[in-house]
Structure 1
Amino acid sequence: MKSINFFGNKKNAVITFILSAVVCIIFGSLYYLHIKKSFINQAKSELRTVAELKISEIVKSNYDELNDAKLISSDYTILKYLDKIISGRAFNRSELKHIFSELKLEHGYENILFVDNKYQVRFDSNNQKFEIPELVLRVIKENEGNPEAFTTDIFYCPIHKGIHIEYISTIEFNNKPLGYLVFILNPDNLLFTLTQNYPGEKKTTETVIVKKEGDYVLPLSPLKFRENPELKIKIPLSKKNYPAVEALKGEKKFFDGVDYRNEKIISFISPIEGTNWFFVLKVDEAEIYKEINKQVFSLIIFMLLFFTASFFLIFWLYHYQQRNLYRKLYGEQKTITENESKFKTILYSIGDALIITDQFGMIKNINPVSENLTGWQESEAKGKTIEEVFRIINEQTRNKVENPVEKVLSEGTVVGLANHTLLISKDGKEIPIADSGAPIKNDEGEILGVVLVFRDQTKEREANRKIKESEDRLNRGEIVSKSGNWELNLTSKKMFSSEGAALIYGVEQTEFDYDIVKSVPLPEYRKMLDGALMNLLQNKSPYDVEFKIKAVDSGEIKDIHSITVFDKGKNTLFGIIQDITQRKTIEKKLAESEANLLSMINNKDQAIWSLDENYNLIICNDFFKNAYKAAYNFELKGGVNLVE
Structure 2
Amino acid sequence: MQEQYESLSENSNCMKSQLKTKRPISKVLFKQALHSFINQFSQKMLNKKSHISILAVIISAILISGGYLYYGYSARQIRAEKGEELKAIAELKISQLVQWKKERTTDAKQMSTAPVLSKWLEEWLQEKNKNKNEQSIKQRLSFSQMENGYESIIISSVKGEFLLTEGSGIEQIDDSTSVKIIESIKKDQITFTDFYHCNTHQSIHFDIIAPIKNEHHTTIACMILRIDPTKNIYPIIQKWPTPSKTAETILVKKAGDSVLYLNELRHQKNTKLKLAFSLSRKDIPAVQAVLGTIGIFTGKDYRGVEVISYLSQVPGTDWYMVSKIDSNEILSELNILSTAIALFVLILMALLSLGFAYIYQSRQRNIYRDLWQVQEEFKITIQSIGDAVITTDKNGKIKYLNPVAELLTGWSLAIAIGEKLENVFKIINEETRNTVDNPVEIVLREGVVVGLANHSLLIAKDGTEKPIADSGAPIKNEKGDIVGVVLVFRDQTEERKILQQIKTSEEKFRNLFEEHAAVKLIIDPETRNIIDANKAALAFYGYSKEELTAMNLNQLNTFSLEEIKNAIEKVRTNQQNFFEFRHRLRDGSIKDVAIFSSSIEVDRKIYLHSIIQDTTKRKQAEIMLQLLRRAIEQNPVTIVITNKEGYIEYVNPKFSELTGYTAEEVKGQNPRILQSGEHSQMFYKDLWDTILA
TM-score range, shorter chain: 0.3 to 0.5
TM-score (norm. length: structure 1): 0.46
